[in-house]
Structure 1
Amino acid sequence: MSPKKNDQHFSRRDFMKATSLAGGGLLIGFTLFESCKPGAEPAIDLASLNYNDFNAFIKIADNGAVTIFSPNPEIGQGVKTSMPMIIAEELDVNWEDVFVVQAPLDAKNYDRQVAGGSQSIRHGWEPLRKTGATARQMLVNAAAAQWGVDPSECTSSRGVITNSKGETLTYGDVVNQAAGMEIPEDVKLKSVRDFHIIGQEIPNVDIDEIITGKPLFGLDYKKEGMFYACVARPPAFGQTLDAVDDSEARAISGVQDVVRFGDKVAVIATDTWTAMKGKKALKLSWKSDAALESTEDHHKILTGLLDGKSFETLRKDGNVKKAFSSADFVLERTYESPFLPHNCMEPMNFYADVTSEKIHLVGPIQTPKGTAERVAQVLEREVGDIHLEMTRQGGGFGRRLYGDFVLEAAEISNLSGKPVQVVFSREDDMADGIYRPAIKYRIAASVKDGEVTGYHLKEAAINSNMYGLIPNFFPAGALENYQVDVAKFDSKITTGAWRAPYTNFLAFAEQSFFDELAEMMETDRIQLRLDLLDKVKGTTDDRIQYSPERMQKVIRTAVDKSGWGKAPDGVYQGFSAYYCHNSHVAEVADVVIEDGAPVVKRVVCVVDCGIVVNPLGARNQVEGGVIDGIGHAMYGDFAFSNGAPQSLNFDGYRMIRIKDVPKVETHFIKNTESPTGLGEPTLPPAGAALANAIKAATGKRLYNQPFITELKDLRIPEKEIIG
């Protein structure tokens, strides 16, 4: 069984637009993804459209230069490079002749101008290819008309069109004529074997600007006459603003205004330092109407939920109670993870200039369309009044899905009448986060006559509302008796998506559990997984998204590439395999003992994500995901006391450091399947591979994150767990 293909249907007339450029050349506009809506009204006067009227487009100049506007937010996942690569491939030009520009928000033309869920390339694959191929065919048709031959007698290659006589024309030679030609309904896409851009290692299109410090990121944005705002927010979740004394803040030279909105107070100044200084000078009093939450409370609450009976059942196959009652033995384990902040390198920030005529927004946001709609609602304006430009983002990891900082900027500008950029300090970023929720999982499995007969997963979470496809991931479909139950506690602490939502911890829990289950069964841990996957083959259950065949291949490849079972003395290995974001991943971690402490030296990661568009960028994503997964599983901890975060900067919050980072070996399964997700899938299995390797090295089974807390029980004197 293979993962389901995208159920997307595209009309050429719906997503293609073409017009001549005033200075000569061809402009191809296209609407992408699910926004290619049947019945969408085409523009009446295409010649009057300017660049901002398209959500993304190709611009071809009469000298042959090609500009491709990249529509999706760039948060470091590489779509500003890889999405234009797909267009350029089918357009059949030299990558050296391509210029890439970030497109602004255009909610009119398509829905998925989003960076989230590792879905940009997966959803864009077909429409991006068709857009490039359609432009190429228009250029070929123009050349054929100029020669007076049938287009079938012409071929294109690297921006040059050739006829059967060997005569040639460049794209620049025919681009003006092509602009007036009819858009073809049916175009032929390239064969994978003919790709010359896709599959090549293409450097990030912004790399020169990044390493030379050119303005790219939200914090780089400058505009004449703009001001800066820092915001005082409740110091604890559950508190509200009672009284404000801003006299000392207003007396500081450079402070322009102090604005109260809701339970927040903004200090507006001529520069960020003065705004921060003014914020510290505010005298604020806070109140709370109920008891404030602490980490100890959450431990008890989550345990109570697991022990209780108030669950929502997300999937129930067979009868797990019956399977457990007749089993030779039942293994049950509980796993716990803390809240986690996102800690993007670039703290939250956004620029807003609200006037009676327009709302101009600029900055780093993963969800520009939804955020613009929220701004319009809060300010009681029309969405059409908003022009939102996206900058490159210094990290997102899910935090920039939520536009709270954009709303702050818009409200402050609206109230003050000034163009402002809201800037979070690192302390603001950690104290007013939208955190990964604290979660506990309880997993139980029954074994009868050497076979796994039942599996029961219970989740208890803080504010959990994104269960998604988790109940249909492995081992769903492999067992006759299978059940997934969830329960949540509604907290005032804000929570949301954090890189690879929920699977980031669930993968550790489940894959650690399977290793321990194999030990109890006295069977091979790899074979246990392979045997369960065999049982999924041929299923007609449409809920199952993963492919057992593809999962087995990444497992076997990881076993081979890592030298599983053949490690030299003193090297202990741990295995993990997981499917999420439409991709299949297997990882093996190598751990040694140095000075009495386990040290992770190497992680071998095998990924099946379909066609790899840009191997250079893809490896960066794989390695980053593995390192992120290891770092947060090992060190990430975030506590609350009376509703207030207890860590406000990196002196009190441990992240992985350069000396902790293992060597990551990446292997991609080569196939011709359409691309799937890559920004997140390698993070979830990393923690389990490490935990299973630590078990092999120390004999200690880990059940809670961060691991460093549990490893203190080993009584390693004055020795950090490092990589």
Structure 2
Amino acid sequence: MSSTIQTKFSRRSFLRTSSLASGGMLIGFNFFTACKDTVKMPVDISKLDYNDFNAFIKISKEGMVTLFSPNPEIGQGVKTSMPMIIAEELDVAWENVNVVQGILDTQNYVRQVAGGSQSIRFGWDALRQTGAFARQMLVNAAAAKWGVDASECTAKQGVITNAKGETLGYGDVVDEAAALEAERAAKRKALIESLAEGEQPPAETIELKDPKDYTLIGTDVGNVDIDKIITGKPLFGLDYKAEGMVYASVLRPPAFGQVLESYDDTEAKAMPGVIDVIKIGEKAKAMLEKEQIDWTAKLAPSEKVVVIAENSWAAIKAKKTIKALWSDGSPLESTKAHDKILMDLLDGKDFTNLRKDGDVKKAFKQADKVVERTYESPFLPHNCMEPMNFYANVTDSKIHLVGPVQTPASAASTVANLLGRDEKDIRLEMTRMGGGFGRRLYGDFVYEAAEISDKIRRPVKMFSTREDDMTTGVYRPAIKYRIAASIKDGEITGYHLKEAAVGGNMYGLIPNFFPAGALDNYQVDVAKYDSNITTGAWRAPYTNFLSYAEQSFLDELAEDMGKDPVQMRLDMLEKVKGTTDDRIQYSAERLQDVLKLAVEKSGYRTPKDGVFQGVCAYYCHNTHVAEVADVVMKNNRPVIQKITVAVDCGIVINPLGAKNQIEGGAIDGVGHSMYGDFGFENGMPTANNYDKYRLIRMNETPIVETHFVKNTLSPTGLGEPTLPPAGAAVAIAMKKATGNRMYKQPFATNMASKPILG
């Protein structure tokens, strides 16, 4: 059965339609949409003009459909999955679809952001409406051409058929459809403009497909950029080039807390290929001190030296010759000091309460036993495959920005404030990104590029090296969790979770995820230390470590009480069913379902000889996930052999792309839990490249087996939710294999001094 959706439009939000000069129909929507990249087309689509619009569908007389994608693509696959949604409702053959990356357009789109695994979730309804509206326009045009009622016509795979069996292709009626829709849109616009402020026009309705009738959604579709990626076509920010472009390499403070005093650039300026050496940061520093600019991630206050050169290699070499003098503007912090600071915070009383159910103190006093554990995690860098970079060309009339950023609107707004320009002067184009993981949420590299270009008044590519990225970036906060639980008559009666973080955000620790709601006495408190070391979002913010701490703790409680850890979780979730607490964000039923599915598919109840299994069920980023880790012992060392993943993300748009995200997230979670270690000594990072920073290696990568809970619920994201449970599942399995519980990440480092199997 199809569904009918009412669509409401504000004064600025109405359907725009026009006829293309070359013949065709332009369909634009003033609400959030995002689509996909391109497959080979049977016509020369390069001759079409993509530069004047972005929020639309374009249909040519040949029946080709072009979808413009406004959202950033960071490898999460939205350039494939989001247009699939439009194409499904439009009912057009996938081989006739082409997608072009749109530019930043705050007039026509909201949330042009890649972050939080929210693109599919936020775009689902709007994207379906986009395709369905277009399909209905075309059907109406064909019906008018035949002189029949539109209800007598159907559309399928780009072909409209009437009751007599006569057919017309979409390309055959695009002009008529454009004319009809232009008339309707004009009337709609006039109606909206005639309304009083705050008054809403009558809702329009549109028929959407029933999920059982989907022919494209739910099928495997390859990444639309894959051919270009593997053949090295220019897709990424580092690939972008423009006529007259120069290169800029930035010398930043070597330690967090230092400021530039002076520098000698004599040798650098004399080197071949070097154009100039300049200083930036004065304007940003002044604006920051006056609180006139929100400079994300604290990367702006210090002044910096910039080498401008004809090529990147010349810029890198010259930067190494600059003799800079840095003074200590604030304390130069070290990991050892942070450890003590965080422990003092946990022992102190200066906390902010995020949730308090019942009376934890009373439950603890009345308990037969209180179990308390502390879990520790280090800072972590993002280490995107493509280091930070951006192109900028600032002139008197415009500011042209091109590159990889997860938050283009925020970046453009900050550049406008920084340079004292109107945002309308800015044209920001997005490229594909070689990884984001939260690092490219922070647009410091965009601001630097814009400030450099503004100063030299030339088109410039600001680029970072791997060492720049690792030592002057944004880091996952170092965090310690202390969890205590009271046990009375063999049941958990109280639960108290405390967080102490270096530079964390007070809202970061999630107080309303499981086990919230499952316990009568439950309390969550947080404290933070404001550091001059830059911290920010890192893939699956906070939950990336919180899941391991809480789920490991629950497993230990089950062992202490002599309970089956799976059944204990199922029983706790049973208590949440039917809750009227609207703070609870997860579904107890859905979390139970993924847990049962993971247990079934992994053979958890009947493990093979020599296989030790750990199970974790977790909810984050609107998706329910359970994972079972298989660990075996080889040469007295634990080896992670397999991860079985069960996922409930609602309707799966593109199973192939979904599995890629699930597998990547699980492996990333395993790798960083096992090996990720990073710290600071006197304000300086302890590693600047992969010779000192350990990542998971190919021969250490476990098999990841994915299973979906099948339903027709609205889809949710997959870029992050499978990472957090992985560390917990591995830690629990390793306890069974080695007899040792892990309380500190990374596991490989911290188990080195522990006896393994005696």
Q: TM-score range by the shorter chain?
A: over 0.9
Counterpart position of 1:85: 84
Counterpart position of 1:209: 228
Counterpart position of 2:142: 143
- Is the Cα contact below 8 Å between 2:33 and 2:70 reproduced in 1? no
Structure 1 residue runs of 5 or longer lacking an equivalent are: 1-6, 36-48, 718-723
Structure 2 residue runs of 5 or longer lacking an equivalent are: 35-47, 186-203, 282-302
Counterpart position of 2:738: 698
1:241 is the counterpart of 2:239: no
Q: 1:8 and 1:700 mapped to 2: Cα distance? A: 57
- Is the Cα contact below 8 Å between 2:508 and 2:542 reproduced in 1? no
Counterpart position of 1:42: none
Q: 2:452 and 2:32 mapped to 1: Cα distance? A: 35
Counterpart position of 1:524: 564
After TM superposition, the structure 1 = structure 2 runs for residues 44-193 of structure 1, keeping only pairs within 5 Å, are 51-52=50-51, 54-182=53-181, 183=184, 185-193=204-212
- Is the Cα contact below 8 Å between 2:70 and 2:109 reproduced in 1? no
1:320 is the counterpart of 2:360: yes
Give the aligned residue type for 2:641.
Answer: K
Which of 680, 688, 700 is 1:648 aligned to?
688
Give the aligned residue type for 2:210.
Answer: S
Which deviates further from its counterpart, 257-266 or 385-394?
A: 257-266
Q: TM-score, normalised by structure 2?
A: 0.90
Which deviates further from its counterpart, 180-189 or 456-465?
A: 180-189
1:10 CA displacement: 4.1
Which of 374, 377, 388 is 1:334 aligned to?
374
Which of 635, 645, 648 is 1:605 aligned to?
645
- Is the Cα contact below 8 Å between 2:6 and 2:205 reproduced in 1? no
Deviations 1:600-619 (Å, cap 9, x if unpaired)? 10000000000000000000
1:399 is the counterpart of 2:439: yes
- Is the Cα contact below 8 Å between 1:92 and 1:159 reproduced in 2? yes
- Is the Cα contact below 8 Å between 2:55 and 2:108 reproduced in 1? no
Identity percentage of aligned residues = 68
After TM superposition, the structure 1 = structure 2 runs for residues 198-277 of structure 1, keeping only pairs within 5 Å, are 198-262=217-281, 263-277=303-317
1:8 CA displacement: 11
Q: 1:471 and 1:139 mapped to 2: Cα distance? A: 49
Counterpart position of 2:9: 11
1:289 CA displacement: 3.5
Q: 2:6 and 2:163 mapped to 1: Cα distance? A: 37
1:309 is the counterpart of 2:308: no
Deviations 1:608-661 (Å, cap 9, x if unpaired)? 000000000000000000000000000000010000001000000000111110
- Is the Cα contact below 8 Å between 2:55 and 2:109 reproduced in 1? no
Q: Secondary structure at the match of 1:123?
A: helix
Which of 675, 684, 688 is 2:715 aligned to?
675
Deviations 1:643-684 (Å, cap 9, x if unpaired)? 000100000000011111000000011100000111000000
After TM superposition, the structure 1 = structure 2 runs for residues 372-383 of structure 1, keeping only pairs within 5 Å, are 372-383=412-423
- Is the Cα contact below 8 Å between 2:389 and 2:404 reproduced in 1? yes
1:443 is the counterpart of 2:483: yes
1:290 CA displacement: 3.7
Q: 1:146 and 1:34 mapped to 2: Cα distance? A: 30
Residues 350 and 609 (structure 1), Cα distance of their counterparts in 2 relative to 1, 3 Å cut: same
Q: 1:645 and 1:693 mapped to 2: Cα distance? A: 32
Residues 513 and 311 (structure 1), Cα distance of their counterparts in 2 relative to 1, 3 Å cut: same
Q: 1:274 and 1:380 mapped to 2: Cα distance? A: 32
Q: 2:589 and 2:490 mapped to 1: Cα distance? A: 23
Q: 1:500 and 1:194 mapped to 2: Cα distance? A: 34
Counterpart position of 1:408: 448
1:714 CA displacement: 3.2
- Is the Cα contact below 8 Å between 1:366 and 1:400 reproduced in 2? yes
Q: 2:646 and 2:719 mapped to 1: Cα distance? A: 14
Which deviates further from its counterpart, 545-554 or 282-291?
A: 282-291
1:17 CA displacement: 1.5
1:206 CA displacement: 0.4
Which of 598, 620, 623 is 1:580 aligned to?
620
Q: 1:466 and 1:253 mapped to 2: Cα distance? A: 50
- Is the Cα contact below 8 Å between 1:459 and 1:485 reproduced in 2? yes
1:241 CA displacement: 0.2
After TM superposition, the structure 1 = structure 2 runs for residues 416-431 of structure 1, keeping only pairs within 5 Å, are 416-431=456-471
Q: 1:625 and 1:509 mapped to 2: Cα distance? A: 18
Q: 2:489 and 2:245 mapped to 1: Cα distance? A: 73
Which of 508, 511, 522 is 2:551 aligned to?
511
Counterpart position of 1:470: 510
Q: Secondary structure at the match of 1:180?
A: helix
- Note the aligned Cα RMSD (angstroms): 1.7
Q: TM-score, normalised by structure 1?
A: 0.95
Counterpart position of 2:292: none
Q: 2:549 and 2:7 mapped to 1: Cα distance? A: 38
- Is the Cα contact below 8 Å between 1:34 and 1:112 reproduced in 2? no
Residues 535 and 716 (structure 1), Cα distance of their counterparts in 2 relative to 1, 3 Å cut: closer
Q: 2:331 and 2:88 mapped to 1: Cα distance? A: 59
Q: 2:643 and 2:6 mapped to 1: Cα distance? A: 37
1:630 is the counterpart of 2:670: yes
- Is the Cα contact below 8 Å between 1:257 and 1:416 reproduced in 2? no
Counterpart position of 2:530: 490
Counterpart position of 1:39: none
1:102 CA displacement: 0.6
Q: 1:11 and 1:422 mapped to 2: Cα distance? A: 41
Give the aligned residue type for 2:456.
Answer: S
Q: Secondary structure at the match of 2:477?
A: coil
1:71 CA displacement: 1.2
Residues 157 and 209 (structure 1), Cα distance of their counterparts in 2 relative to 1, 3 Å cut: same
Q: Secondary structure at the match of 1:712?
A: coil
Give the aligned residue type for 2:144.
Answer: A
- Is the Cα contact below 8 Å between 1:53 and 1:106 reproduced in 2? no
Give the aligned residue type for 2:668.
Answer: D
